[in-house]
Amino acid sequence: MAAVMRFWKLCVVFLWCAMSLPAFSRAQEEDFMRIWPENPVVPFGGFIVLNFSANCENIAVETSLSKVPAGDGPSWKAFNFTSVTHWEPQILCHADCEKGKAKFQTVVITVYRAPKRVELDPLPTMEVGEEYNVTCRVFNVAPIRNLTVTLCKGNEELHKKTFEDHNNPEASDVVVTHSITAQQDNHREEITCHAALDMRPEGPLFEKASPDKSYSQSRAVYPPEQVIVELQKSSTGQSWHYDLKCHVIRVAPLSNLTVTFFKGTERLISRKLWNYTKAERANVTVIHPIVLQPGDYGKEATCHVTLDVSPHKEPFTATSHKLELKAAETYRAVTVAASAVATLAFVLVGFVIYYLVWAHGGSK
């Protein structure tokens, strides 16, 4: 510790000499007092050495900060202000000058804290043409008036926010929000947030960006333009075996799509398209094998689709037209039944006619 203090004394003496020599080269016509550095900056919890010089006597310093003498001379004193944990602390220096006059000067220390963390709020799945908010949060930073927050999409600067009018010197959190409109080519664009605390020229420049895990990918959402259901004979060729097909036209993203088949009010099956990774609009056909029964004749089949992008937006839903179930086997069954009924009717009519003729002939 003693070695450190001797080092600081040597530094302060050198700085004081460099600052004071020009003053000694000219006549001392008036009293003066100087504090160096003139605009001191220090990190919160750090320390700083200040030099106080004057052509007066009895230089004294008043402050609420803890201080340790760091050197002195005939017309100067230096102090090491340790563990600065006040925001914008003031230091008053005064000295006794000729004719009973006192000289006073005050310096304000700017205390800073580099951004502790920079994060982006997760972006929702986006629908093309819709407006969304991008929110960046900078945590525990000071002074905010020296802060600049920039939102970027890839290499493109979306928004830059400065805080020159912010007067509170204490560290706090900052929230910056900017609205964007989702475009068709935004899929997998990286949205990033950059925070810069600029303490130059007296202090350093701190820069921090949102981490990779905060990068949010916007995805275009296209509700289906059309939903069509059809019934086709199964390729197995078995009787009463058919395929219900649901055609969903120009929809994205497919991975958020669920297709549900109904027969009347009976739900047959629901399928979520987990394995579809296409981000752009596409057509998709979902097939459900079905075994019809004669009793299904006249029932209606429908296809219901849900594009679920919750919780950020209400799901999109659409339903196909109603398709009346008419199987070829049903037609054949109806034809056979009709033929049987017609044959039976013909036999009955013949029997009636025969009976009438026979009965009439026998009565004669």
Q: Output the DSSP codes for 74-121.
A: TTEEEEEEES--SSS-EEEEEEE-GGG-EEEEEEEPEEEB---EEEEP
User: Is the separation of the CB atoms in 178 and 171 below 8 Å?
Assistant: no
Range ranked top by mean pLDDT from 114-123, 171-180, 302-311: 171-180
Mean pLDDT over 6-20 rounds to 46
Q: How many residues does the chain have?
A: 364
Residue 24 token pair: 């000694």
Q: Report pLDDT for 32.
A: 79
**Residue 312 pLDDT more than 70?**
no
Whether the model clears a pTM of 0.75, i.e. scores above it, the answer is no
CA atoms of 58 and 23, how far apart (whole Å)? 19
Q: Across the strands, what pairs with 262?
A: 267, 302
Q: What is the pLDDT of residue 77?
A: 93
Residue 99 confidence (pLDDT)? 72
**The pLDDT value given to residue 304:** 96
Going by DSSP bridges, is the β-strand pair 41-43/110-112 parallel, antiparallel, or unpaired? parallel
How far, in Å, CA of 359 to CA of 251, rounded?
77
Residue 45 is predicted with a pLDDT of: 94
pLDDT at 16 over 80: no
Per the CB < 8 A criterion, the answer to whether 27 and 65 are in contact is: no
- Pairing relation of β-strands 110-112 and 102-108? unpaired
Contacts of 271 (CB under 8 A, 6+ apart): 258, 259, 260, 286, 288
Q: Which long-range contacts (CB under 8 A, 24 or more apart) does 7-10 make?
A: 8/49, 8/70, 8/71, 8/78, 8/80, 9/70, 9/71, 9/78
> 29-85, pLDDT tens digit by residue?
466 789 999 999 999 999 999 999 998 888 999 999 999 999 988 889 999 999 999
Mean pLDDT for the chain? 82
| Least reliable range by pLDDT among 23-32, 182-191, 218-227, 327-336 | 23-32
Domains recognised in the chain with CATH numbers? 2-112 (2.60.40.10), 117-217 (2.60.40.10), 226-326 (2.60.40.10)
24 pLDDT band, cuts 50/70/90, is very low
> Cα 96 to the chain's mean position, in Å?
61
Position 363 scores a pLDDT of: 54
- Maximum distance among all alpha carbons in the chain? 170
Distance CA 25, CA 172 (A): 48
